[in-house]
Structure 1
């Protein structure tokens, strides 16, 4: 009755198929020729198949042997791929890091961090996507990202959330704007001004609107848009006063006047990992670089 083949028998069979002789197969496996011959004999008996015949002293594989060899090769190629993956994991964690972030952080924070990370790990494939907060939540839940960064809250019971940095909203405007020489602006100063803000459901817009409502400040006009970078570009054209976070304001500071705003509207940068998976070593290293970058940032001064 046929029995399952042992790994040693399959290994000996493969070595003979690759080298052509039991002697060469023995050298490949670092064993003896009689040991290989014995394993082949045991394998044929166990499989109840004739795998070789002998012609003028040489082994000749049968058609059954050639068919079986294809399956054996696929198996060993799979093992080789596993070994390659293990080696890659030893060297660099997963070999890939997928990061999601809100657009303002993609402009104002990640370029410096990615530059540092890539300098250390040129062999790691890094995928960075800039999307809105809702897409970040969905992507982290579905395994699309290894970690995400957001200026909007990322509260979810399945997330491991870390507050990486706190800054405050600033006003950006054309250098020749009538209010550009002020060292700081109060929300009362925004009354009668043309404002460029994020969309009405953005936490920063909500905080600004509430602060202006308390003091009865009404803008002359409001332009809403999705991206802080767009706000800065419009403000640089003299369209109005933009309200953005410090990170993106720093990117456009060469073309804008950046002024602190009071009362302060807090902007927290959250980093989140999936609570279902332990972060990889490279994800933790990336997070450490993000934290180090934030430690170098200085708040916009009132001076």
Structure 2
């Protein structure tokens, strides 16, 4: 059985509203013979007569009157389908799933996300926050549209867009004496206690090397995950050397952030899935976050 074509339904509605194949053909921009063929094909497929002839006019048959409502509903659904496709094409609607770490979720993504939402208010945005190990496992499954992560990260360069490099900073309790300085030197931290990431992490190893090169020892009294670090600083447990995004999420009423010299640089990137085509919404998000990424 030949499937019913959308054009046939359009022809049926146009004839029902105009009362003739000639007027309906003018309305849809086709010749009268094509309009008649569309109607005949639809009636043949349905097995019912949709119109009764009254002189030169066509009037809906009882069966045609019942089918007109179905035709109008079908055309309305197709119109919604087209509009939705256009919205997605114009990045005005759709769904975007982004996975990232806590530091980027709190310190980098809020402003970018807000800008994206202003430009695409109908897009549904899902942000999954995970620890580094969980993030690596999630990336293995490729069940995401976009990932924001700290480098280094083993990933194909063709699917990686660098966000930028940012100097490390020092987070202190607000009442700490070193807060009087705008920039701290490593020597200023000689007798300070620290909180930091576990010694197996890349960030921790780089800070160890930074202090070692300056002839100092970096030995945090508390090792923990990034989520807890700022709260520990605020409670007076120690100072924190970290990336600016983690520092930005600290409690500004209880902590302060100071630049550090010399320091290490933190680099971040967006990752696209490697096993499927890039989502256009993900590409647009990256373009907003990293304007020179095109």
TM-score, normalised by the number of residues in structure 2: 0.70
Residue 166 of structure 2: aligned partner = 167
CA distance in 1, matches of 2:74, 2:180: 73
Residue 243 of structure 1: aligned partner = 241
- Check the 8 A contact 1:236/1:256 in 2, yes or no: no
1:85 aligns with 2:101: no
* Greater displacement, 200-209 / 103-112: 200-209
Residue 144 of structure 2: aligned partner = 145
CA distance in 2, matches of 1:119, 1:4: 42
CA deviation string 1:121-177 (max 9, x = no partner): 444444433333344455556554332221243322496112222224333222443
Matches within 5 A, 1:151-190: 151-157=150-156, 160-177=159-176, 180=179, 183-186=183-186, 189=189
Q: Which runs of 5+ in 1 are unaligned?
A: 294-303
CA deviation string 1:99-132 (max 9, x = no partner): 3332212222222223333344444444433333
| Displacement of 1:277 | 1.9
CA distance in 1, matches of 2:260, 2:200: 23
- Check the 8 A contact 1:9/1:40 in 2, yes or no: yes
* Greater displacement, 182-191 / 113-122: 182-191
CA 38–265 in structure 1, closer or farther in 2 if over 3 Å, else same: closer
- Check the 8 A contact 1:190/1:219 in 2, yes or no: no
CA 78–216 in structure 1, closer or farther in 2 if over 3 Å, else same: same
Task: Give 3-state SS (helix, strand or coil) of 1:92's partner.
Answer: coil
- Check the 8 A contact 1:199/1:225 in 2, yes or no: yes
CA distance in 2, matches of 1:172, 1:61: 79
Task: Give 3-state SS (helix, strand or coil) of 1:98's partner.
Answer: strand
Matches within 5 A, 1:195-210: 195-209=194-208
Residue 232 of structure 2: aligned partner = 234
CA distance in 2, matches of 1:27, 1:123: 37
| Displacement of 1:87 | 1.9
Count of aligned residue pairs for this structure pair: 283
CA distance in 1, matches of 2:111, 2:46: 65
Q: Which runs of 5+ in 2 are unaligned?
A: none
Residue 49 of structure 1: aligned partner = 47
CA distance in 2, matches of 1:220, 1:41: 83
| Displacement of 1:84 | 1.2
Task: Give 3-state SS (helix, strand or coil) of 2:159's partner.
Answer: strand
1:132 aligns with 2:102: no
* Greater displacement, 218-227 / 20-29: 20-29
Residue 107 of structure 1: aligned partner = 106
